[in-house]
Amino acid sequence: MCGIAGIVGSFSETEAMNQVRNMIRVLRHRGPDEFGIYRDTRACLGHARLSIIDLATGSQPMTNEDRSLWIVFNGEIFNYPELREKLLKKGHHFKTTSDTEVLLHGYEEFGVKLLEKLNGQFAFAIWDSKKEECFIARDRVGIRPLFYTLSQGSLFFASEIKALLCNQTIPAEFDFKSLIQIFTLWTTLPQRTIFKNICQLPPGHFLIWKGGKVRIQKYWQLQFPAAGDYADKSVERWAEEFRHLLIDASLIRLRADVPVGAYLSGGLDSSVVTAIIRHYTSNDLRTFSISFEERTFDESDFQKLMIEHLQTNHSNHRVLNREIYENFRRALWHIETPILRTAPVPLMMLSKLVRENRFKVVLTGEGADEFLGGYNIFKETKVRHFWAKFPQSELRPLLLQKLYPYLRTASARNRRFMERFFAKDLTDTGNPVYSHLIRWHNTAMLRAFLADDVAEQYADYDPVEEYKQTLPAGFNQWHAMSKAQYIEVDLFMSGYLLSSQGDRMAMANSVEGRFPFLDHRLIEFATGVPPKLKLHVLNEKYLLKKAMGDLLPEQIFTRPKQPYRAPIAACFFSQSGSNYVKDLFNSDSIIRASCLQKDAVSKLLKKWEHLEGKLQGERENMAFVSILSLLSLHELFIVGNHSYLPQNTSDFENRIKIDKP
């Protein structure tokens, strides 16, 4: 993994060189091993390298034989040895053994169609000096980030927004429309960011810059069959095919010239990945996990079970509540967008543990819940569809207790409240986003904290209606669960999970995450699996359990699903020092942020302080974290508190390599 940045267009070469140098300096946590810049009269490309493949000769920016093409690349191409062999047979010559050079020659040979042949996680830019054209591409589901903006006729791009904002020509301003999207959908719509005029290249898209104009095009689309068009195969056949694909997807992600470890949370997904490594390789299995001071969030008992079962060499970090408080703003500096939960912060501590043990690469289980039916939102959708057929039923809502066992012991009043909560829009089953209506309605309550002028300006704006316009052709013919899966992948997984909890928290400590369940072959297979084999009645990830259960202790694949969460209240209000929270929530901070209602925010803080943070409601938790994160971002990027920028830059200046035509 790496950090990439660049400017293409009309500029002063000296000025562009200084700007890209600054951009790479800001990104050096992504790639501390090497730094390089290429410049000519129309392009300046920068690279910060985390060396994983071809340690000796894989330096970037990299060029082809006649020095007409230059590439900067962030990511991994897992099928690069196979692609290299095909290119050798077509007459290409290689100077390195890197996957970066395979991309260069692949682009020479196949052009844009190269993207269809890649199995990997990537964001890369190729500058064609003869055509004076820049080609930028991002992987299918957005594992690796890529941001861009147009300024003074030039295209600026980078792996992280902070690299763009270090250029004085690019102002840091919040985009209030994007904020309303986050305060409804948890994330912005795919091309937007929280910052005005700064865009992200959507997953599965490429961008071409030429002559000052930008063209963006989709090259891959997540698709599901129509509801009645699933292949008729036995569950044993589905499981056999799935197992073969998952094993191969895991093994090719062990390709590296450095040791590869794995996260082991104690859940089904990471346990399967580590079990595959143990049973199908001779690797020394090195695993890492976090546990929590608060037992409610802790899974260490299941972690210990897997460690004993697989006999792994394991390291654990026990996350204390005060550590979440202390690291929250640093995490936000890396995340660069408002968040609604503290869950990313412990993952930053986990990647620090990995790096302290001299590992750069880990395999993790992301993607299994989304593509194999692991989340409660899929169960809710199924229960609500069943309930909607007889909305007056008193028995059907009792199925909710299967999802949330605490409802069984709740008071009659609380049970009635929860039934009313889940009954919202119950019979609106024809709505294409039916599965997510409750979640989005709940999150949209955050709009009550917006300043009056912002609320008035966007009073008629509905992010849900805008999102509906982006749904692919044939969406309405899909099974209800397939619709829910698509939305969860398209918005939550790509826009939040892989970014705020994935790439950013790993790269904060120069660690690369690899995700076998997000191999595009596995994704395309999983979309064709009948919904009943993903969610069997209310048994989640049924196919995964059938396919891989023999590798695990029974307690792992029969345990109830425990979504990954992290503490909130005890982190910020049971500590002796919560000064920065009070400072950020004070009137001056709110006025500077210019988008929040002072009285509403002050009341929220007083409520938390009065109850010492012991609030149980999801809305209050979301409200506190989202406002704290928004105010933190304002302090870090708009007010301009650069406390997390690297201070000692002498090593960077002494090691940077510069190439010219």
Q: Tens digits of per-residue pLDDT, 351-365?
A: 999 999 999 999 999
As a whole number of angstroms, the distance between CA 631 and CA 639 comes to 10
Residues 487 and 436: beta-carbon distance below 8 Å: yes
Find where tokens 């594992």 sit: 143
Instruction: Give pLDDT, residue 413.
Output: 81
- Whether the per-residue pLDDT at 398 is higher than 60: the answer is yes
As a whole number of angstroms, the distance between CA 202 and CA 484 comes to 20
Structure tokens that stand for 424 in this block: 């919202």
How far from the centroid of its chain's Cα atoms is residue 436's Cα? 19
Extract long-range pairs of 16-23: CB within 8 Å, 24+ residues apart: 16/44, 17/44, 17/658, 19/44, 19/166, 19/167, 20/44, 20/45, 20/46, 21/46, 21/656, 22/163, 22/166, 22/167, 23/158, 23/163, 23/164, 23/166, 23/167
DSSP state letter for 187: S
As a whole number of angstroms, the distance between CA 245 and CA 522 comes to 6
Please report which confidence band the pLDDT of residue 647 belongs to, taking 50, 70 and 90 as the band edges: low
Residues 509 and 348: beta-carbon distance below 8 Å: yes
Domains annotated on the chain, with CATH = 2-220 (3.60.20.10), 243-371+487-534 (3.40.50.620), 441-470+568-653 (no CATH)
Please report which confidence band the pLDDT of residue 416 belongs to, taking 50, 70 and 90 as the band edges: confident
Please report which confidence band the pLDDT of residue 578 belongs to, taking 50, 70 and 90 as the band edges: low
The catalytic position among 2, 166, 199, 595 is 2
Task: Name the helix (H) or strand (E) containing 609.
Answer: helix 598-610
Structure tokens that stand for 45 in this block: 């490309």
Residue 18, C-beta contacts closer than 8 angstroms, at least 6 positions apart: none
Residues 28 and 21: beta-carbon distance below 8 Å: no
Helix axis angle for 300-310 and 268-280, nearest 10°, is 10
* Rounded (5°) CA angle 338-340-343: 105
Omega before 61 within 30 of 0, i.e. cis: yes
As a whole number of angstroms, the distance between CA 146 and CA 6 comes to 11
134 assigned to active site: no
pLDDT exceeding 90 applies to what percent of the chain? 80
Instruction: Give pLDDT, residue 577.
Output: 52
- Whether the per-residue pLDDT at 616 is higher than 70: the answer is no
534-550: average pLDDT = 96
As a whole number of angstroms, the distance between CA 353 and CA 130 comes to 46
Enter the pTM of the model. Answer: 0.96
As a whole number of angstroms, the distance between CA 150 and CA 11 comes to 13
How far from the centroid of its chain's Cα atoms is residue 344's Cα? 10
Task: Give me the chain's average pLDDT, please.
Answer: 93
Q: Return the number of other C-beta atoms located less than 10 Å from residue 316's C-beta.
A: 17
Q: What is the pLDDT of residues 192-234, one digit of tens each?
A: 999 999 999 999 999 999 999 999 999 999 999 999 899 999 9
Instruction: Give pLDDT, residue 291.
Output: 96
Residues 361 and 511: beta-carbon distance below 8 Å: yes
392-405: average pLDDT = 87
Q: Pick the more confident residue, 641 or 259.
A: 259
- Three-state SS letters, 367-404: CHHHHHCCCHHHHHHHHHHHHHCCCCCCCHHHHHHHHC
Instruction: Give pLDDT, residue 608.
Output: 80
- Whether the per-residue pLDDT at 264 is higher than 70: the answer is yes
Please report which confidence band the pLDDT of residue 649 belongs to, taking 50, 70 and 90 as the band edges: low
Q: How far is CA 383 from CA 245, 378, 483, in A?
A: 31, 9, 15
As a whole number of angstroms, the distance between CA 5 and CA 656 comes to 14
Please report which confidence band the pLDDT of residue 575 belongs to, taking 50, 70 and 90 as the band edges: low
- Whether the per-residue pLDDT at 65 is higher than 70: the answer is yes
Q: Is 69 helix (H, G, I), strand (E, B) or coil?
A: strand
As a whole number of angstroms, the distance between CA 421 and CA 415 comes to 10
Instruction: Give pLDDT, residue 614.
Output: 64
482-500: average pLDDT = 97
Q: Return the number of other C-beta atoms located less than 10 Å from residue 596's C-beta.
A: 22
Q: What is the pLDDT of residues 24-53, one digit of tens each?
A: 999 999 999 999 999 999 999 999 999 999
